[in-house]
Amino acid sequence: MLECVCDGLATNAQEVEEITHSTLFKPLRCAEDIMCDLVRNRFLTVDEDLAASQKWTKLSPTQLGRATLVSALPPDAALFVFADLQQATKSIVLDTELHMLYLVTPTNCSVWQGCDWNHLHTIFSKLRNEEKRVAKLVGANDRFILSRLRGVSAASSDRSYQLHLRFFSALALFDVVNEKPIDEVARRFRISRGTLQTLQQQSATYAGT
């Protein structure tokens, strides 16, 4: 629906519903509910027509909506990134490259599947002061990592879960930026060399969007 409005295929709620009904896609939720979510999360704006009819409600994409479409991010991931960028405009750590690397690290860090949280906690506990400042600013903390060690489950879509894996990805990239050997970085974070190179490529693509 967001793509239809951004591309100009639909300019009002009625046209969005017509497009939905003309495809083989059967939405799990009604078109009106989805459009309300897009408006509430500021992907779309609503302008009422002079006729004041709901069918003629004009829909327009916001800058956030256009950026989401261009980046090919799901709306929930786009909101995650947008919140991080808004936070960075208020406060950013510049004494190292870590915070900037965090901002260009993908939100869905699939490289950490089956990760050892005990080992990650060891890494986290040995962070330098400037790295701890970045961790605090982005929301990474001991409490979440310890909850994982206690066996508390977290869905892969959970914001805190993604945030912490994203932070550890940024830490690995930080070592690479500081010209540490790839093999050494891979051993430190217990990921394969190929996985680390994949993370580098994903981050380069992510930064370009």
pLDDT tens-place string over residues 161-192:
889 999 999 999 999 999 999 999 999 999 88
**CA pair distance 196, 21, nearest whole angstrom:** 44
According to the model, what pLDDT value does residue 156 have? Answer: 62
**CA pair distance 169, 70, nearest whole angstrom:** 24
Residue 128 reports pLDDT greater than 50: yes
**CA pair distance 133, 115, nearest whole angstrom:** 24
Return phi, psi of residue 182, to 5°: -55, -45
pTM of the model: 0.76
According to the model, what pLDDT value does residue 175 have? Answer: 96
Residue 28 reports pLDDT greater than 60: no
Cβ-proximal residues to 111 (8 Å cutoff; 6+ apart), any chain:
169, 191, 195, 196, 198, 199
**Better pLDDT: 18 or 123:** 123
Domain residue ranges in the chain: 1-71, 75-208
In what helix (H) or strand (E) does residue 64 lie, and over which residues does it extend? helix 63-71
CATH 1.20.272 fits 1-71, yes or no: no
User: What SS3 state is found at 50?
Assistant: coil
**CA pair distance 132, 39, nearest whole angstrom:** 37
| 93-115 burial code (b ≥16 CB/10 A, e <16) | beebebbbbbbbbbbbbebbeeb
Residues found in the chain: 209
- Other CB atoms within a 10 A radius of the CB of residue 5 amount to 26
According to the model, what pLDDT value does residue 13 have? Answer: 77
Confidence of residue 54 (pLDDT cuts 50, 70, 90): low
**Better pLDDT: 131 or 107:** 131
pLDDT digits (tens, 9 = 90+) for 97-112: 999 999 988 877 677 8
